[in-house]
Structure 1
């Protein structure tokens, strides 16, 4: 589905304080924005109005997104082969532009690389040799009884004296075999379509319950899926349960030894929260740009509403929130890809800042659209629904704030 050329040219003139992008990054940004305009935005809108079963069915436009994205050649291995600062800038631009197009599709595309990225970060050659980079992956961490508990890997957000209930998914390790039983919740992004899962769960080696991170090929015997999740926002993102019934794989599929679980969990949460910061700066920007354009069209009091001082004031506050979110997201990305030790605190701060900004800017945008903002004819109500979901996923903002604040209180800036 393509937009008229004039409309496309107008939409390619996007806002933002990006005057110092180098030629490679600028070209990359323009190609990604074109993909967002021509493919992600229209397909995301179409998928938003379909049932979750239809979204992932054969012949769904959801699969066209993967085809078009792969044509860009923007693989994670290519990005990580570049100089670190360049890679950080390209990653920031990529995730921002994809989410400008559609938040659900952006998450689906980005989370797909989780198994490969973890193998890369921990230099696990077995996994790198056995996970095709173009395969669809997911991050299986959330459980029915343990939502944000699972990202609080060191228990700092727990109430004093409390303890977590029995885990829903346990991997039993004996010798060179891992046997997995239980389930992951309906909130696993790409859970209904993924070929590989980076699975974070409890494990039993005979000495009480511990935790482990491993990759599971989802075509293994004993793996089944739940129904695609029906939900309010990010409806283009397939989510659903994954069940494990005596699933047996070798210990070669462990991302790292059990003793290194906290390092793996910290690395993944740092990556995921940093990615959310970059992505939802893009949604905030998209909502702001739609509002800015619309204020020149909508008339009240005999003039376009951009002529009213209150509207101009609201737009300025929207713009500053967008740029603050983008600046922190990019600063965090550059730091984490160039520093000896990535900083979880920066990623948590970026995730909370961008998702909160996206929700507030989308809400303000809907107010400027008036009644039209509530209709399906305009994209704002969908952006608001998508933004609201972001404040819960990958660790709800409230728990992440406790986690980040606890690290500040302990003076842990590089742990």
Structure 2
């Protein structure tokens, strides 16, 4: 059964509010964040002041209580202005989703409340140097020691590492039984034994720090485990079902920003005595960009609606939305550079930044090759 989403007046109002804020207080920081490779603190402050930094957190914990579709719209609109800044609401959702899915009430109140207030951010630590797509082969360990767990290991490719105060960390608690021996924990940046590697030198999203996180005999109280021991990997996979929708939204936003830039330039740039937008070849290119963007947005919103309802086909739709939208974003941003010609290849215009930013959406939260495996397995199960 294919239930359709419907944008409510509230969803439309959220889009208008986020766009106005981002045009005024986020977009002006985007080029500098990219050039300097610095976390856009001013953008975070702007998002925090309007409750757009973690809109998904329920009202009972002090959050805005936005549904999955509204949250996707927020991320889309922030990404339209600055992809690095869009990782603030996106990664706050990624880091906290395991608590929302599997955490007990006390753990939620303790950690979701400060995130909702904008006093802390939350990152997600799953990947390791030798465990990327094969996350189940992780080697980070958590050993029971009386009323504590002792964590040792390394996590790699951790978004906003060093800036976030809190981290959802997955570690092996029962060796030798594969994913069923993995558990999830909340780790605080201030915990003794937690340290960070140097920021990665990346192609794009340079304003969002990506670093390794090291755990050296980190003592974690028993009440900081998320769910029961051995349920961590299942929680991680359920989390990704929901948060792949946010990466799809980010990709849609990046693509929308690139199309905006291409449309504006095509109407201003004159060749052979008229705007290049008047040429049929250019119109075909712009039409294809718009068509791909519209399809990606519609699929993303349909997946967001399923995320909100917790539908049985969410795994398929989350993977499909992330895969299709990120592929579309890569194509649209590349075409935007082409529309701008030589100017598109320079940092004087945003298209080249958007093209670089778009690439990561095909890689993180599961490569698009992995997404196709996920989709195929769901099809073979008869879920769709």
The TM-score with structure 2 as length reference comes to: 0.89
1:279-334 Cα shifts (integer Å, max 9, x gaps): 21111111111111111111222221111111111111110100000000000111
Matched, 1:73 2:59: no
Name the SS for the 2:377 alignment partner: helix
Runs of 4+ in 1 over 4 A off after TM superposition: 78-81, 205-209
Residue 170 of structure 2 aligns with which residue? 200
Residue 22 of structure 1 aligns with which residue? 8
> Are the equivalent residues in 2 in contact too, given 1:295–1:305 (CA < 8 A)?
yes
Name the SS for the 2:267 alignment partner: coil
Residue 133 of structure 2 aligns with which residue? 148
Residue 41 of structure 1 aligns with which residue? 27
Structure 2 Cα separation of the partners of residues 263 and 214 of structure 1: 13
Name the SS for the 2:214 alignment partner: strand
Tell me: CA distance 1:301–1:193, structure 2 relative to 1, closer, same or farther (3 Å).
same
By how many angstroms is 1:265 displaced? 1.6
Gaps in structure 2 of 5+ consecutive residues: 1-5
Within-5 A mapping of 1:347-362: 347-362=318-333
By how many angstroms is 1:124 displaced? 1.6
Name the SS for the 2:192 alignment partner: coil
Residue of 69, 87, 90 corresponding to 2:67: 87
Name the SS for the 2:207 alignment partner: coil
Tell me: CA distance 1:289–1:206, structure 2 relative to 1, closer, same or farther (3 Å).
closer
Residue of 76, 86, 96 corresponding to 2:76: 96
Residue of 344, 347, 351 corresponding to 1:373: 344
Structure 2 Cα separation of the partners of residues 356 and 88 of structure 1: 22
Name the SS for the 1:240 alignment partner: strand
By how many angstroms is 1:21 displaced? 4.3
Tell me: CA distance 1:333–1:319, structure 2 relative to 1, closer, same or farther (3 Å).
same
Structure 2 Cα separation of the partners of residues 311 and 182 of structure 1: 52
Tell me: CA distance 1:308–1:393, structure 2 relative to 1, closer, same or farther (3 Å).
same
Residue 299 of structure 2 aligns with which residue? 328
Tell me: CA distance 1:115–1:342, structure 2 relative to 1, closer, same or farther (3 Å).
farther
Structure 1 Cα separation of the partners of residues 204 and 297 of structure 2: 22
Residue 64 of structure 1 aligns with which residue? 42
CA RMSD of aligned residues (A): 2.4
> Are the equivalent residues in 1 in contact too, given 2:34–2:205 (CA < 8 A)?
yes
Tell me: CA distance 1:213–1:311, structure 2 relative to 1, closer, same or farther (3 Å).
same
Residue 344 of structure 1 aligns with which residue? 315
By how many angstroms is 1:405 displaced? 1.4
Name the SS for the 2:26 alignment partner: helix
Residue 122 of structure 1 aligns with which residue? 102
Paired residue total: 369
> Are the equivalent residues in 2 in contact too, given 1:273–1:350 (CA < 8 A)?
yes
Tell me: CA distance 1:242–1:72, structure 2 relative to 1, closer, same or farther (3 Å).
same
Residue 226 of structure 1 aligns with which residue? 197
Gaps in structure 1 of 5+ consecutive residues: 1-19, 57-61, 154-163
Tell me: CA distance 1:79–1:388, structure 2 relative to 1, closer, same or farther (3 Å).
farther
Residue 281 of structure 1 aligns with which residue? 252
Within-5 A mapping of 1:391-406: 391-406=362-377
> Are the equivalent residues in 2 in contact too, given 1:112–1:190 (CA < 8 A)?
no
Structure 2 Cα separation of the partners of residues 114 and 248 of structure 1: 24
Name the SS for the 2:182 alignment partner: strand
Residue 110 of structure 1 aligns with which residue? 90
Tell me: CA distance 1:123–1:241, structure 2 relative to 1, closer, same or farther (3 Å).
closer
Residue 12 of structure 1 aligns with which residue? none
